[in-house]
Structure 1
Amino acid sequence: MSGPRVVVLAGGVGGAKFTLGVREALRRRDAPPATVVVNTGDDLWLSGVRLQPDIDSVTYALAGVNDTGRGWGRAGDSERVNAELQAWGAGWPWFTLGDLDLGTHLARTGWLREGSTPTQVLERMAGRWELGARLLPMTDAEVDTIVHVRDGDGERAMHFQEWWTRHRAGLEPIRFENPGIADAAPAPGVAEAIAAADVVLLAPSNPVVSIGPILAVPGVREALAAASAVVGVSPIIGGRVVRGMADVCLAAIGVETNTAAVAAHYGARASGGLLDAWVLAEEDASAADAVAAAGVHPIVAPLWMSDVAASAALAEAALAGA
């Protein structure tokens, strides 16, 4: 294999779809499998088990067992155990856990309690399927995302999953925090893979709560500075977010919901930011000049990841931009 060494920073459904495309694009180039650094900021403990939603979304997608209709969880899953938990008044009635998914969470929790690190757990999980990529958590530390929302004249805090799933981001966020992240370290292999990469790709994931926590882990930005090229893919198409409520998250940190603003949020490497190039949608081609003015090379390409072929074409455009 003689193709580029690629690292993807990813989270959520957009990250999972993009990772599928990267895997296909690298196979066509006879390149080594990508290393995928996955957000763990939305992890949580629930009913005594450790959930890692983004880790599972990427793993299930690469394994071909994900529920493509819902965008999360396992295909063909049932919810008998979830119904029983709710009958006992356990867990969150607005947070559904599928039975197959619970099997993953139980296995993970057991291994964690036996002393394995999240990195070791993910390696063990990945061994079940031929994923065609190396998956790493961003950190082995627990750095769950806490959202501070406006409450009358004050504020209150809640776990990101409650804000996102129960309230559908309907409560105005003031800020997002990852307690303990300042003392965290990249998971083993993360910084080394990023620094040695020929290309680092920022998936079209939520810039605030998916990519943001990865970048906040001490040492990650320094590793990115050593990478040969960093290319970001816009999560905005036609001035709108593709999925979820990323626009609410962006507004909370003072970033407009447009592709040039998100590119400026990441910043140009030439001026101390992250990006060498930015892939923006054909629908946003008029913003290419603004991206270029910010010191980032614009690449206009189709961004809709309707299937693996479309995701692979997007990955090819990003790799070519490097």
Structure 2
Amino acid sequence: MKITVLSGGVGGARFLRGLRHHLRHVHPDGNGGTTDSITAVVNTGDDMWLTGLRISPDLDSIMYTLAGANDEERGWGRIGESERVSAELRAYGVGWPWFTLGDLDLGTHITRSHYLRSGLPLSEATARIAARWDLGLRLLPATDDEVETRVVIDDEGSTLHFQEWWTRHRASLPARAFLQQNVEAATPAPGVLEAIAEADLVLVAPSNPVVSIGTILGIPGIRHAVTTASAPVVGVSPVIGGAVVRGMADACLEAIGVATAADAVALHYGSRATGGVLDGWLVGGEDAAAVPVVLAAGIRAAAVPLWMRDLDTSAAIAREAIALALP
């Protein structure tokens, strides 16, 4: 079975880890791997240049999580980090003092920047970086082009980079809109459209619908590939019991006029039968009342436990998503 997952960072990383665990349990190949093929198509709208380095937060969150090298307590970065370099940068007045990069993490950013400045596209740089780790899947940026998200914060059209709005201001400044710079000229990274077209199942991870999944689908060609895929498309709600699981995705949903509710996010994505991207949608057990609403929109739905408390619960969610895709 070939599975392609559209994914953002932390929530997507935990879902992918559960999916990998489930498939290894169901189809072990005897070598600790899996006979199934997983491709993660990852949001790059959060990316940026900072102190001369190219930072790709979502790609790195997934890579570290699958490699077992992430800091589970903080939810981002590497375990056992030190921050001596960031302290030196602050002393020099360079960079963003509120955006701390750990020393081990900086090694990844330096390596990525070296590859990019050597002329490699982001997809090839990602492949070389990921080759260090036993990820058990293929990691693809949604695009090799720089499509950074800017947040419109006032009626005059003033904008901030998404990371400044998200990390520094904690989404406290009301967002008027989200702009993906140069998205119209972007193209899917090599392998992305093929991964969707050749998949037996396409999954939409429980990631931010606006600035993660929305950015991926906004790259010309990707939405069309999803809507015309021969495989079923099943999503997992990032909203449980009327609240986002992690971060401030509710502020993003509010900015585009979508309620923070499992059924509202499903309707935002829409049914493939009516031009949307979903065939199926998992909601949390707390949101069982949303199932009839989603079904009425032409999307198969089921209410199951969605809290990814550990590896087993994450794997159970992946199992349910696959089951929902079956006729």
Question: When the two structures are superposed, what TM-score results if normalisation uses the length of structure 2?
Answer: 0.96
Deviation at 1:158, TM superposition (A): 0.8
Alignment correspondent of 1:222: 224
Alignment correspondent of 2:312: 309
Alignment correspondent of 1:239: 242
Alignment correspondent of 1:252: 255
Q: What pairs up with 1:126-165 in 2 under 5 angstroms? A: 126-150=130-154, 154-165=156-167
Report the identity percentage. Answer: 59
Instruction: Write the distance in 2 (CA, Å) between the matches of 1:227 and 1:47.
Output: 44
Residue deviations 1:209-267, cap 9 Å, x none? 11111000111111112231000000011011011000000010010000000000000
Query: SS in structure 1 opposite 2:40?
Result: strand
| Counterpart code for 1:98 | G
Instruction: Write the distance in 2 (CA, Å) between the matches of 1:200 and 1:92.
Output: 37
Alignment correspondent of 2:109: 105
RMSD of Structure 2 on Structure 1 (CA): 0.8
Instruction: Write the distance in 1 (CA, Å) between the matches of 2:62 and 2:7.
Output: 8
Give the one of 5, 9, 25 matched to 1:12. 9
* 1:23–1:33 contact (8 Å) kept in structure 2: no
Is 1:176 aligned to residue 173 of structure 2? no
Is 1:209 aligned to residue 211 of structure 2? yes
Deviation at 1:280, TM superposition (A): 0.3
| Counterpart code for 1:314 | I
Give the one of 70, 86, 102 matched to 1:66. 70
Alignment correspondent of 2:188: 186
Is 1:27 aligned to residue 24 of structure 2? yes
| Counterpart code for 2:15 | F
Instruction: Write the distance in 2 (CA, Å) between the matches of 1:229 and 1:257.
Output: 25
* 1:291–1:298 contact (8 Å) kept in structure 2: yes
**Structure 1: which 5+ residue stretches go unaligned?**
none
Deviation at 1:28, TM superposition (A): 2.2
Instruction: Write the distance in 1 (CA, Å) between the matches of 2:151 and 2:313.
Output: 34
* 1:8–1:203 contact (8 Å) kept in structure 2: yes
* 1:26–1:33 contact (8 Å) kept in structure 2: no
Deviation at 1:300, TM superposition (A): 1.2
104-113 vs 27-36, which moves further? 27-36
Query: SS in structure 2 opposite 1:123?
Result: helix
Instruction: Write the distance in 2 (CA, Å) between the matches of 1:211 and 1:267.
Output: 13
Deviation at 1:26, TM superposition (A): 1.6
Question: When the two structures are superposed, what TM-score results if normalisation uses the length of structure 1?
Answer: 0.97
Which aligned runs of 4 or more in structure 1 are off by greater than 2 angstroms? none
Aligned length: 317
Give the one of 296, 299, 321 matched to 1:293. 296
* 1:95–1:165 contact (8 Å) kept in structure 2: yes
Instruction: Write the distance in 2 (CA, Å) between the matches of 1:300 and 1:275.
Output: 16
* 1:145–1:178 contact (8 Å) kept in structure 2: yes
